[in-house]
Structure formats: C-alpha cells, structure tokens
Amino acid sequence: MSPLEEAGNDQLPAQEGAEAEMARYGITRVPADIFHYQDYRYAKLSDALAQAKRDANTAPAVFE
C-alpha cells in the first residue's frame, strides 16, 4: 500500500505536518513558473528567451 493510500487523501503524512507548520507561522505557498530551454531551467522567461536568442545567433549558417 502506498503512503497516499494509507493517508486516505491527496497528501502524504509528512506534508500534513508541513501544512500545519506553515499555518502556525503564517507561511503561504504560491505557484511558480519554471521555463525549460534545452537542459536548463529558468525562473524568468526573459532569461530563457535571451539564451535561446544567443543560441540562434551563434548557430552555423546552412549553405544551399
């Protein structure tokens, strides 16, 4: 039986304790976007775009 099945809900028991601690100290959770480009992760879209553009500018030219 998995920890989720044992807990009988969507949260692991350890998460329940973390939720209680968060509530006790007034800590909130907010969703955050992560942008993936190649093998890297960026917290800001502008950083991912800047790297992609740098890569596009250094790509070798294809000759016909």
Looking at the fold, whether 22 and 42 belong to one and the same domain comes out as: no
Question: What backbone phi and psi angles, to 5 degrees, belong to 63?
Answer: -100, 140
Looking at the fold, whether 16 and 1 belong to one and the same domain comes out as: yes
Looking at the fold, whether 1 and 16 belong to one and the same domain comes out as: yes
Looking at the fold, whether 36 and 64 belong to one and the same domain comes out as: yes
User: Between 11 and 19, whose confidence is greater?
Assistant: 19
Question: What are the helix (H) ranges across the chain?
Answer: 3-7, 13-25, 45-58
Domain that holds residue 9: 1-30
Q: What is the mean pLDDT of the chain?
A: 83
pLDDT at 4 (0 to 100)? 47
Q: What is the pLDDT of residues 25-56, one digit of tens each?
A: 999 999 999 999 999 999 999 999 999 999 99
Looking at the fold, whether 35 and 64 belong to one and the same domain comes out as: yes
Looking at the fold, whether 38 and 59 belong to one and the same domain comes out as: yes
Looking at the fold, whether 3 and 18 belong to one and the same domain comes out as: yes
**How many CB atoms within 10 Å of residue 12?**
14
Residues, the chain: 64
Give the total number of structural domains in the chain: 2
